[in-house]
Every structure is written in structure tokens, then in C-alpha cells.
Structure 1
Amino acid sequence: MIRLVPNHAPAIRRSEKVHFTFDGQSYEGHVGESLVSALTRAGHLSLRGAPVDGAPRGAFCCMGLCQECAVIVDGQVVEACRTDVSADLVVERVR
């Protein structure tokens, strides 16, 4: 017989929600969550184009080793998986 695991999702306490922008559009994320998590939840699987052929690139390793999730924050190229969401963060694609 299969025993179902109870749903504990309602008991999870999340940090406050804040707004940030990605390519000029407003999105919502939780303070301290990784930017790549918030963007993935918003449906953005491709965060930039590959330098040579423009092929879509997005989250791959999610720990800052591959740089596939590179985005621009405050004029600096950073990994979205190593950048925390904060209020009024302005994020752009690497072109």
C-alpha cells in the first residue's frame, strides 16, 4: 500500500515579496531568494543568448560555475543564481 506524504507547503514561511524588473518588465520575488529562481518561476527559462550563435542560455548548474545564467545588474555582469532578489533590483539581459 502507498502512503501519501502530507502537503507541508502551507507551513512554509517565505520572506517578504518585493518587485524587481527584468528587461523593463516588473516581476515579484521573495527577499533573499536567488534571482534565477524568481525568473524561472516567472517563466524565463532563457536569460541570454550564446555569444557565437545566439542560442538560448539559462540556468544550468545553479551554483555559479557555468555562467550560463549571466545577467546585468547595476552595470555589472553577474550570475543570476548567485544574486539575491531585493527591492527595486534592475536586471537586464546580456546582449
Structure 2
Amino acid sequence: MDVIQILALVKARLGITAAVRDTYLAAIVYGVVRELEHEKGIALDSGDANHLMFCVDLATWRYQSRDSDGSMPRHLQYRLHNLMIHSGGGRP
């Protein structure tokens, strides 16, 4: 997955134009991609817009909810489950 492209889209979604938070946001993006691939067993495809936008949405949610105790929103849970099912049911 193209972490730089995801980072640019996360920044656009958040309305961030400066590079001040890039290190922190890049760490979140990298963590999201690694978790999806290694822990959830999802074979992410850079050419698949659904995969790309799920990574953007999940990284954005992680950034915005970093100080909250709330669980993942239902729409993200639903999309994650669908990705896991379409990737063969989880772990490789």
C-alpha cells in the first residue's frame, strides 16, 4: 500500500496543509496498513479504491479519536469485516 498517498489523503480529509504533523500522521498510517496486513490478514491492493479509502478513513478516525475511549464506529467495523471476508476470511 502506498503510505505516502494515504498520508496525503488523510491530510486533505483533515484540512491539514502544513507538514508539522506528518511524522505523527505517517506513524498512524503505517500502523493501520501493518495491522490490516499482518494482524487482520488482508491483502491490501494499492489499485483498489475501497482498500485505499478504508485505510484513509481508519487512519483519520484513529487520529481524531486518539484521546477518547470510544470503540470503532459501526460503519468502519462493517467495512473491516467485509474486507476480511473478501480477503479469504482473515489470516493468510
Name the TM tier (shorter chain). under 0.3
Instruction: Identify the structure with bigger relative contact order (alpha carbons < 8 Å, sequence gap 6+).
Output: 2
Q: Normalising by the residue count of structure 2, what TM-score does the alignment of the two structures yield?
A: 0.25
- Write 1 or 2 for the structure with the bigger share of strand: 1
- Write 1 or 2 for the structure with the bigger share of helix: 2
Structure number with greater Rg is 1
